[in-house]
Amino acid sequence: MKRIVIASQNEDKISEIRNPLTALGYEVYSLLDFDIPDIEETGKTLRENARIKAHAVRKITEYTVLSDDSGLEVDALHGAPGVHSKRFSDSTMDEDNNELLLKKMEDKEQRSATFKTVMVLLFNDEREYSFEGSLHGYIHTRQEGEHGFGYDSVFIPVGHSQTLATLGPETKDRISHRRRALREVVNFLKDIA
Ligand code: IMP
């Protein structure tokens, strides 16, 4: 049996990633199945952080590891909050991160932004591959919508007129950066099967 560990403790993320891997014949584990100390995400890029997570998990298991890191890059802020998306404001609360972002964008006409996910697949023979998914859009002028998390309430995807938090989970699951990166991983695993 092929075994893979998702390098996350986040149940929503795990359940999103688990199904397509199970369909490919993998026995899927996550960090909820292992006793692992907190992994410090000290990388300067999403890819570095995804690699740090993958290699930290690799130390405690022989299984193949799939890790990910995501963030929001705002063009008018030179790519911020980017790799610091989770801890943009001092409090790390979504609400405060969004307020800080809207404040920094107050006088900006150029409002384009991109959600990005990098996934790293580290095989038990040390082969390593990375995959990316993006979602382009714009920063709204206020928080709007009840669904989702993080910056969903201030982000309007290209081709839509409402925030991700208003559009809801069905639309988001179809177009999200994480889903696009996952599709790349699944296609790759299908090709090498
Ligand atoms: P993570 O790497 O998936 O834990 O994402 C890091 C941070 O990026 C989160 O804490 C959010 O602030 C932001 N983020 C990542 N993905 C999303 C998303 O799909 N919607 C909104 N915010 C996100």
Question: Coil, strand, or helix at residue 72?
Answer: strand
Instruction: Report CA(142)–ligand 1 centroid distance (Å).
Output: 18
Nearest CA to ligand 1 atom 11: 150
Nearest atom in ligand 1 to the alpha carbon of residue 178 is: 19
Atom 1, ligand 1: residue with shortest CA distance: 70
Q: Is the pLDDT of residue 100 over 90?
A: yes
How far, in Å, from the CA of 12 to the mean position of ligand 1? 12
pLDDT at 109: 97
71: Cβ below 6 Å to ligand 1?
yes
Active site residues: 69
More confident call, 36 vs 81: 81
* 1 Cα: distance to centroid of ligand 1 (angstroms): 32
CA–CA dist 40, 62 (Å, integer): 21
Tokens for 9, please give them. 């403790």
6 phi and psi angles, rounded to 5 deg: -85, 120
Please report the beta strands in the chain, taking only residues with DSSP state E, as ranges in sequence order: 2-6, 26-30, 64-74, 112-122, 128-139, 155-157
Which residue ranges make up each domain of the chain?
A: 2-192
User: Residue range 70-91: average pLDDT?
Assistant: 96
Burial of 35 (C-beta count, 10 Å sphere; 0-12/13-18/19+): exposed
Atom of ligand 1 nearest to the CA of 69: 2
| pLDDT in the model for residue 124 | 87
Whether 92 has a pLDDT exceeding 90, the answer reads: no
Mean pLDDT of 131-136: 98
Would the pTM count as exceeding 0.85? yes
Structure tokens at 166: 């208003």
* pLDDT score for 56: 96
> What's the mean pLDDT in 11-37?
92
Position 1 pLDDT exceeds 90: no
Q: How far is the CA of 128 from the centre of ligand 1 (A)?
A: 23
On the question of pLDDT at 193 being above 80, the answer is no
If you take atom 8 of ligand 1, which residue's CA is the nearest one?
Answer: 71
Strand partners, 65: 5, 122
Which atom of ligand 1 lies closest to the CA of 94? Answer: 12
The per-residue pLDDT of the chain, averaged, comes to 95
Q: State yes or no: pLDDT of 38 exceeds 90.
A: no
Q: pLDDT tens for residues 141-157? A: 999 999 999 999 999 99
CATH, domain 2-192, list 3.90.950.10, 3.30.390.30, 1.10.357.10, 3.60.21.10: 3.90.950.10
